[in-house]
Amino acid sequence: MDKKQFPILGIDLGGTKIAASIIIDTDTIGKPKRVPTPHGKENIIQALLKLIEEFKQDNLIVGVGIATAGIVNPDTGEVIGSTGNLPGWEGTPIKKIIEEKMALPVHVENDANASAYAEYRASKFKADTCLVTVTLGTGIGVGIVINGSLYRGAHFAAGECGHLKVSLNNHRRCTCGLWDCWEAYGSGRGFVATGYDALSKISAHQSKLALKKEKLTTEDIIEAAKDNDLVAKQIIETWHEHVAAGMVSLCHTLDPDCFVITGGMGKFVDYVLLKDLIMDMTLPRISEKLEIYPSSLGERGGMIGVAELVLDTFNSSAKYTQSLQKK
């Protein structure tokens, strides 16, 4: 069988949900299966094992790729850092645990890195020098592809840009324990926090959102904005300013060809507004030719990217064996 045709189970483990699908030749087969991310390390491991078992029953699988939130050492397949978005996940040797239980080769990668790899490999965007994906989800994850390779940093933490400091006010605490991280403002959680901030100053006759003061959701705000609620529209605009703030820092650090926006909150982005905000706050040399695109792969990016990384490990070990045989 051509290695491209090897069926790999790709799993994307985020702070809110786990999604999984069989990947063959860089595409998902059928509709991805989704389950809510359970609380705590043991429950997450059990959920992963259950999903893999279910897929194994109906499909031939030759490897498993797990794209997880958290800082990952892809060589050992261990989660070496994690925020409160996945409490207790730090220190989990996922590769070892799953390989022992399932007798299948496993590759583990940070979720945002896996998405960036998939978007780059899908080649829908021109990015000769640097492609940056921004995953707007429970947190904010960033994946950086430089000259065609994933950039992971000296401690595998490159792209943990959700924790860029975007304010000096000590106003919002991030789930990582630091203050005023980008994701405390620009993620789905940050969006709702901005909503609560806005609602603290208004009454029900100014916006019907005030009735949701006890339990506000992203959908409440989006629906109210569709009904022309001015407070909801302002919350959405402020969220765009927050998303832009971190991207501006990334522009000045990396000078990318393009950004690709992924994650559950990506569908709420107004690309014209976001580009305008970024241009206003970025040196002209950098922003003039900068492109910002919606993801070409949607929620499937993480699974596809990590499945491609599994195949890469097969290819590099095959090359290693061949080189030994030649000696």
Under the rule (CB under 6 A), what is the footprint of ligand BMX?
14-15, 69-70, 82-83, 85-86, 110-112, 135, 137-141, 160, 162, 183
Q: For the residues of 17-79, what is the DSSP string, one character each?
A: EEEEEEEETTEEEEEEEEEEPPSSHHHHHHHHHHHHHHHHHHS--SEEEEEESSEEETTTTEE
Question: 112 touches which of Zn ion, ligand BMX, none (CB within 5 to 8 A by kind)?
Answer: ligand BMX
Q: How far is the CB of 245 from ligand BMX (least distance, A)?
A: 15
Q: How many CA atoms lie within 13 A of 288 on its CB side?
A: 3
Through-space distance between the first and last CA atoms of the chain, rounded to whole angstroms:
26
The only residue of 145, 158, 174, 258 in contact with Zn ion, by rule CB under 5 A:
174
Q: Is 178 in the site for Zn ion (CB under 5 A)?
A: yes
Say how far apart CA 311 and CA 97 lie, in whole Å: 20
**Could you say which of Zn ion, ligand BMX, none residue 130 binds, taking C-beta under 5 to 8 angstroms by partner kind?**
none
Phi, psi (deg, nearest 5) at residue 73: -90, 105
Q: Which whole-number Å values give the CA distances from 215 to 12, 16, 192, in the listed order?
A: 28, 17, 10
Instruction: Please report whether residue 140 would count as binding Zn ion according to CB under 5 A.
Output: no
To ligand BMX, the closest distance from the beta carbon of 12 in angstroms equals 8
From the CB of 188, what's the least distance to Zn ion, in Å?
A: 15
At residue 184, the 3 state secondary structure works out as helix
Q: Which range of residues in 24-32, 176-184, 244-252, 258-266 is near Zn ion by CB under 5 A?
A: 176-184
Residue 174 contact, options Zn ion, ligand BMX, none, Cβ 5-8 Å cut-off depending on partner type = Zn ion
Four-CA torsion 62, 68, 72, 78, nearest 10 degrees: -60
Rule CB under 5 A: is residue 9 a binding residue for Zn ion? no
Residue 115 interface partner, choices Zn ion, ligand BMX, none, CB cut-off 5-8 Å depending on type: none
Considering only the stretches 115-123, 147-155, 163-171, 279-287, report the one whose residues sit in contact with Zn ion under the rule CB under 5 A.
Answer: 163-171
Beta-bridged to residue 27, according to DSSP, are 24
Positions that interact with Zn ion (CB under 5 A): 163, 174, 176, 178, 181
